[in-house]
Structure 1
Amino acid sequence: MPIPTVSLAGNQVGRVGFGLMQLTWVPNGIPDETTFACLRAAADAGATAWSSATFYGHSPGGGWDNIELLGRFFKKHPEYIGKVTLVIKGGLDVATRTPSNDLEANRKLLATIKEKMGANVPIDVYLPARILRKEGLFTALGASEVSAKTLKAVTAAGIKISVVEIEVSLWSYDKDIQDVIQWSTETKTPIFAYSPLGRGFLTRKFKSPDDIPAGSLQSHSPRFQGQAFYDNLKLVDVLDEIAAKKGINAAQLAIAWVLSLSPETIPIPGSANPERTAQNSDAGNIVLTKEEIGEIDAILSKFDPSGARYPPAFADMCMV
């Protein structure tokens, strides 16, 4: 059964998207055979809005791994060109991974993306560098990790934002996130809700802090460390009970909840497992009842996640 759709940058895309970070930003590489199967599974299930970036990788000198993966995928499977909407984050110096708003630097980034991904593969949305849109290097402008205050200021200046990417999940839903969702609903601007599964925590991917791979993003996250890990499991215990009563898995419950927040939310779970990718995408057809949403809201009102979303070193890259 096809999942519902929403408009993003002039394209109709599935209400559930696909985040590609986990396919390349991992301590150990994943074979193309596996990643290609995940990409096909996502698109075939209707998850046609894909999130990539110029810095999703571990390769020495830059981490172009994710963009290069897309290049290999579209070269082998050109039939998917135009069937998916690509949202690509740039605006960072690839070598140092520090923010760069320099016009020429972003122009070079876009040229490299096209070179590595394929000249015939369109960049549907780029974050940021609005000026370059006039040169035809991408179709629409997006914003990542920005507050409602910033979004209001940007749009008041006459700048059109086609999608906003922020973290939204059952353990990432503070006031700043809620304000962005409200702005999104009022302006009918889609939200790319990244990490809707709490980077695997909400699905019990890790049983203890010892299970977290060294060098992974989770290994640096305060919420995955020491006692905070076990404190946060209390939320997962209750969510598992709700999912079981509804006959779905925890991942599908978490995705369905993000979908329930607004007609504009597009959760973008990532997975290196094709079967799980299809299951996550199918969550676009799951509708939570008012009673189920009320039960979840009551739980969240009493739960305060232990630990920050990101370590202090990443603070300047979070919502501004």
Structure 2
Amino acid sequence: MAQRKLGRLGLEVSALGLGTMMMPDNDESVRTIHGALDLGVTLFDTADIYGDGFMKGEFGGNERMVGRALKGRRDRAVIATKFGIVSPEMKTQGHPAYVKKSVDASLLQLGIDYIDVYYQHRIDPYTPIEETVGAMAELVQAGKVRYIGLSEATPDQIRRAHAVHPLTAVETEYSLWSREVEDEVLPVLQELGIGFVPYSPLGRGFLTGQIRTLDDLPENDYRRFFPRFQGDNFVKNLEVVVLIEKFAARKGCTPSQLALAWLLAQSEQLVPIPGTKRLDRVKENLGALEITLSAEELADIERISPKEVAAGERYPTFMQS
């Protein structure tokens, strides 16, 4: 498995990680994590809000599943989790006391002694980021966390946080249809030597080519409420996916592999975390590591899927704020 470094503090992980957000708490998910680990995947990404119980105010469901799957295999895994979202309405909390409470809860739910990468999931607008990151730095000093990071942070927030304690990674959505980070975030990360972990690198599944109508999504699927999956936006976005499919066919790979190979070509300090509950999808995604894109092919992909090609906002209005 190809390895990549995240940040300048020594963390090295597999060039592709595994996002576990959509994994239900069942034996298939555990088998998929085991299989991914056996294939060489080392970075596993979760969060305290992931899991079916969060809509009822329950935290840690997904962390418990990930912890159970990695029990006895801890030394082979790099475990990343997050804190800071406190309600389904996306209310946030970054007070130092909450940070310390959250890390203890996550350690218990994961069944581990330390967390490899601890992210602030969303920035709390009412708590100075210096205070939040100061508390995270104390967790590093206490041995509860090895490295820290932010998720969906602005360039200014990244700079202010990094000045308090070096960040190892920033996690933000990035894919062929979500390229906002290229303008300001990625240049700052490169300048400061911070790694980048793109989530939803397959456009929440849209770039796989497996979603042709909303009927392809379960009735309770959260994506039905996202602007890019609705009405005319869906139709326009599907047109782009068809072009990506044709390009992938000429390249002899799947659309997912092409989308991931394009992403991997953007930076050596970048480690995508595609999410899936199926081991066959993990194997397919890892095939992207075998694909090399020439400068001409990258230019062709740019013409197919330029910046701002996606129709619709990334999130519903209440989540954007």
TM-score by length of structure 1 reads: 0.88
- Within 5 A, what are the aligned runs for 1:132-281? 132-133=138-139, 134-155=141-162, 157-174=163-180, 176-281=181-286
Contact 2:34–2:70 under 8 Å retained in 1: no
- Give 1:266's aligned amino acid: V
Which segment is superposed worse, 53-62 or 265-274? 53-62
What residue in structure 2 maps to residue 43 of structure 1? 37
What residue in structure 2 maps to residue 127 of structure 1? 119
Which segment is superposed worse, 57-66 or 109-118? 57-66
- Give 1:222's aligned amino acid: P
Name stretches of at least 5 consecutive residues in structure 2 with no aligned partner: 121-131
Please give the alpha-carbon distance, in whole angstroms, between the structure 2 residues aligned to 1:17 and 1:278. 12
- Give 1:305's aligned amino acid: A
Please give the alpha-carbon distance, in whole angstroms, between the structure 2 residues aligned to 1:160 and 1:11. 13
Deviant stretches of 4+, over 3 Å: 94-97
Which segment is superposed worse, 10-19 or 58-67? 58-67
3-state SS in 2 of match to 1:139: strand
Name the count of aligned residue pairs. 303
Contact 1:16–1:283 under 8 Å retained in 2: no
Equivalent in 38, 60, 66 of residue 64 of structure 1 = 60
Please give the alpha-carbon distance, in whole angstroms, between the structure 2 residues aligned to 1:232 and 1:260. 23
CA gap of 1:95–1:22, structure 2 versus 1, over 3 A, is closer
CA gap of 1:152–1:291, structure 2 versus 1, over 3 A, is same
What residue in structure 2 maps to residue 99 of structure 1? 92
Please give the alpha-carbon distance, in whole angstroms, between the structure 2 residues aligned to 1:170 and 1:258. 8
- Give 2:92's aligned amino acid: P
Please give the alpha-carbon distance, in whole angstroms, between the structure 1 residues aligned to 2:147 and 2:167. 8
What residue in structure 1 maps to residue 126 of structure 2? none
Name stretches of at least 5 consecutive residues in structure 1 with no aligned partner: 25-29
CA shift, 1:210, in A, is: 2.6
Contact 1:36–1:73 under 8 Å retained in 2: yes
Equivalent in 31, 42, 48 of residue 26 of structure 2 = 31
Please give the alpha-carbon distance, in whole angstroms, between the structure 2 residues aligned to 1:97 and 1:265. 27
What residue in structure 1 maps to residue 288 of structure 2? 283
CA gap of 1:302–1:136, structure 2 versus 1, over 3 A, is closer
CA gap of 1:177–1:221, structure 2 versus 1, over 3 A, is farther
Contact 1:222–1:307 under 8 Å retained in 2: yes
Identity %: 30
Contact 1:228–1:306 under 8 Å retained in 2: yes
Deviations 1:32-51 (A, max 9, x none): 2x111211222222221121
